Amino acid sequence: MNIMKFILTISLSAFMSYLGKDYIINNSDAINLLVSLYSILSGFLVTIITIIGDPSEILSTKNWREAFYMIKKPSTQLIKACCLFYCYFITLILLFISMILPEYGSSIFKLLFEYAYIFFASLALIWSFGLPLMLVQYQTLKLESALQKKRNENNLQ
């Protein structure tokens, strides 16, 4: 199922880059919007990575085995968040490169960079829809862990 979602996401991003190129290229408002959007999302994502990577709950565990199992879920979330951050960052880098390439001469390279940044912008946008769910899952995990800790303190199972 995950492979199918990945292939569908890549295909949709490629399709969006093909269709969206005419609307974004040479449209300074659209380019400024992309730069602003992905700059803000990058900062927001760094905050999320910091929150998810907070080791305070893991440090309060009773033994190493409990800590080992508590690390598993946030680690996968951190990897997903880091991949999304890199997608944002690659979008901004490709956008910057396409803006500084001259219009004349190497037009094929400029065209490739334009398609590439629209592709990564589309990919990042699609992946960003999963951020709220990831935060809810992380909060749920923390709440369940806190509840289990209270149960253990009160000798309840």
Task: Give pLDDT tens digits for 103-144.
Answer: 765 678 888 888 999 999 999 999 998 888 888 887 887 788
Confidence class of residue 64 from pLDDT cuts 50, 70 and 90?
Answer: low
Q: Residue 87 corresponds to which tokens in the numbers above?
A: 């997608």
* Residue 79 pLDDT: 85
Rounded CA separation 24/112 (Å): 14
Confidence class of residue 2 from pLDDT cuts 50, 70 and 90?
Answer: confident
pLDDT digits (tens, 9 = 90+) for 83-106: 899 999 999 999 999 888 877 656
* 23-27, 37-41, 86-90, 153-157: least confident range: 153-157
Q: Helical H runs in the chain?
A: 2-24, 28-52, 56-59, 64-100, 107-128, 131-153
Query: Domain ranges in the chain?
Result: 27-153
Mean pLDDT of the chain: 83
Confidence class of residue 145 from pLDDT cuts 50, 70 and 90?
Answer: confident
Distances (CA, A) of 121 to 17, 22, 45, 72: 9, 15, 15, 29
More confident residue, 11 or 73: 11
pTM: 0.77
Residue 122 buriedness (CB in 10 A; 0-12 / 13-18 / 19+): buried
